[in-house]
């Protein structure tokens, strides 16, 4: 199959295709926020970006859940999928494709892919005996189970014993090829803790896995045997390929793979690592397709130091959180306070303190008071000082000149917390600088020529901070840029990519006195605890 050789000007990334057994939870929101941040950053680099998200809607668990509510699986899936779309809008997620695995065109591609793997001799019929977790849609090894035959990921539910005829994929055939992949491309699985986990699993020996189920109606029939239904993972993983199709394209693998394949980055939670880092590449090898560049598995979230769950009554509703505090506040906390790749915790008091300190006080108040001084001391014009007149050793310029490249590396490594911390150092240094220089005192003393370089340096530092933070807090950054006289809105993808190239805006000293400043207003209001807390 001919595939177009893509250049570095494109970047395709995915979230998982979320299972619709329930409305979206904070873990799903966390992955999607991270994906959106990385997509926005790639757009700032001037790349054409394709961010894929969507819902996985087949399987026995969906069928049972829908039946328990007196619903059809399709109507239940429609409702749950719409819940994800609604939350992504609230969170200001700029996805490009939303794929649903119940889409008719997806079935066409699944059948074509199945045929390729079938012709490769990698699918056969056999007997499956073992413990099956309906919630995971996965057979479990005895050694994995908790006491009482309970799934470690769903400890409140017992697994079910299954003894049935299934179709299998010859995963064992690809053990050596997978080991060579992990060795030759050490960055294929990230972070290192996830890579080590996969290596340990594969080195123990791979077993063929079931790709079909019997007595399950909700799913695509196996092309060679309609008495069997395709296993949810074999179906769902292929959603990443279906999503590559243009809306009006004929659904063929050739069309789907022509422009964006291979995927640059799969972002997932660590609980589905095995499917994406072992099963998925083996399936692609069997079909003769190139592999994605990187699979990144992040950690789990807790609340107040405890695992979240309905039985514990401590779930965190992402919709309520965003409606109460705003999308920028939620995005900032989860990406700044949690090291992406490790487990992290949400505490509402800490959330409020961090957001108020960093965004309302340090960043927002700095811009507001500086603009007010510019209005009073400089007739609301950018000070006539130029970048060339400010020495390299200037305390803010010295930080700003190296900050763009530093933050770029952090975003590329998905080290969002490091990006935020580095940017915040410039903001904090700017607050310290303006307090020490006291331009209000200089103005009273008639030293207007000394006032202008101070105000320029602070305004330029705020501008740079806003630009570099724009993937994380696009609304706040847009407001800052507009108050500084720019027509850039970081929520407009095309304008961002063309009007704000990273190489220009990520350096220090971009502001000129040709900019007409806007009216000073708070860009981020302090948030307060919910009244019922």
Residue set of the binding site for Zn(2+): 133, 136, 151, 154
DSSP symbol at 208:
-
Tokens 């911390």 locate to 421
The DSSP result for 417-458, as a single string, is HHHHHHHHHHHHHHHHHHHHH-HHHHHHTT-HHHHHHHHHHH
N residues, the chain: 533
Read off φ and ψ for residue 201, nearest 5 degrees: -65, -45
CA 412 – CA 402 distance, rounded (Å): 16
Q: Cα(320)–Cα(373) distance, rounded to whole angstroms?
A: 38
Token pair, residue 198, equals 């996969």
Known binding-site residues equal 133, 136, 151, 154
**CA separation for the pair 239, 99 (Å, rounded):** 7
Query: Closest Cα partner for 249 from 381, 118, 103?
Result: 103
- Residue whose structure tokens are 């330029």: 460
Around 273, how many Cα atoms within 13 Å sit in the side-chain half-sphere? 24
Backbone angles phi, psi at 126, to 5 degrees: -155, -175
Q: CA-CA distance, 34 to 291, in Å (whole number)?
A: 22
Tokens of 63: 């069928």
CB atoms within 10 A of CB 389: 11
Sequence-distant (6+) residues with CB within 8 A of 459 are 367, 370, 371, 374, 382, 383, 484, 511
Taking each helix axis from N to C end, the angle separating 26-44 and 73-90, rounded to the nearest 10 degrees, works out to 50
Output the DSSP codes for 331-398.
Answer: HHHHHHSS-BTB-EEE-HHHHHHHHIIIIIIIIIIHHHHHHHHHHHHSTTB--S--GGGS-TTSHHHH
Prior bond of 191 cis (ω within 30°): yes
Across 116-219, where does the E strand assignment appear? Answer: 123-133, 138-140, 160-169, 189-190, 209-210, 212-213
Helix (H, G, I), strand (E, B) or coil at 53: strand
Neighbours of 5 (CB within 10 A): 5
Q: How many angstroms separate the CA atoms of 210 and 389, rounded?
A: 69
């Amino acid at each position: 199959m001919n595939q177009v050789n893509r250049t570095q000007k494109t970047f395709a990334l995915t979230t998982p295709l979320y299972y619709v057994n329930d409305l979206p939870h904070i873990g799903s929101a966390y992955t999607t926020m991270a994906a959106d941040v990385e997509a926005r950053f790639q757009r700032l680099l001037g790349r054409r970006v394709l961010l894929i998200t969507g819902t996985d809607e087949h399987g026995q668990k969906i069928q049972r859940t829908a039946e328990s509510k007196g619903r059809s699986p399709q109507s239940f899936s429609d409702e749950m999928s719409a819940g994800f779309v609604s939350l992504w809008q609230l969170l200001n997620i700029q996805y490009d494709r939303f794929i649903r695995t119940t889409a008719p065109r997806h079935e066409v591609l699944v059948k074509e892919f199945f045929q390729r793997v079938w012709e490769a001799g990698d699918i056969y019929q056999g007997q499956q005996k073992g413990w099956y977790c309906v919630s995971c849609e996965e057979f479990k090894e005895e050694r994995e189970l908790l006491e009482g035959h309970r799934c470690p990921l769903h400890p409140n539910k017992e697994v079910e014993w299954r003894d049935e005829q299934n179709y299998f994929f010859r995963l064992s055939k690809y053990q050596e090829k997978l080991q060579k992949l992990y060795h030759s491309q050490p960055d294929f699985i990230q972070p290192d803790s996830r890579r080590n986990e996969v290596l340990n699993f594969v080195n123990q020996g791979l077993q063929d896995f079931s790709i079909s189920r019997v007595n399950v109606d909700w799913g695509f029939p196996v092309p060679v045997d309609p008495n069997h239904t395709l296993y949810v993972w074999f179906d769902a993983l292929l959603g990443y390929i279906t999503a590559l199709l243009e809306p009006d394209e004929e659904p063929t693998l050739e069309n789907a793979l022509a422009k964006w394949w291979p995927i640059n980055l799969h972002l997932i939670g660590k609980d589905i690592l095995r499917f994406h880092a072992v099963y998925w590449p083996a399936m692609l090898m069997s079909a003769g397709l190139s592999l994605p560049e990187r699979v990144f598995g992040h950690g789990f979230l807790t609340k107040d130091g405890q695992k979240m769950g309905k039985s514990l009554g401590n779930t965190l509703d992402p919709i309520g959180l965003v409606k109460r505090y705003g999308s920028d506040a939620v995005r900032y906390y989860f990406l700044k306070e949690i090291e992406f790749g490790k487990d992290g915790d949400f505490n509402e008091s800490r959330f409020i303190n961090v957001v108020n300190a960093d965004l309302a006080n340090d960043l927002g108040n700095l811009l507001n008071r500086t603009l007010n001084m510019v209005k009073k001391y400089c007739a609301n014009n950018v000070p006539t000082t130029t970048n060339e007149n400010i020495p390299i050793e200037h305390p803010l310029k010295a930080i700003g000149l190296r900050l763009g490249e530093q933050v770029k590396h952090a975003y590329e490594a998905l080290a969002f917390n490091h990006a935020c911390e580095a940017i915040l150092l410039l903001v904090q240094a700017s607050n310290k600088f303006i307090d020490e220089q006291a331009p209000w005192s200089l103005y009273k003393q008639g030293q207007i020529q000394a006032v202008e370089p101070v105000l320029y340096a602070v305004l330029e530092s705020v501008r740079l901070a806003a630009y570099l933070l724009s993937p994380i807090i696009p609304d706040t950054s847009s407001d800052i840029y507009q108050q500084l006289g720019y027509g850039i809105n970081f929520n407009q993808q095309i304008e961002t990519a063309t009007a704000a190239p990273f190489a220009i805006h990520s350096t220090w000293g971009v502001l000129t006195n040709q900019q007409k400043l806007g009216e000073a207003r708070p860009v981020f209001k302090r948030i307060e605890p919910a009244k019922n807390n």
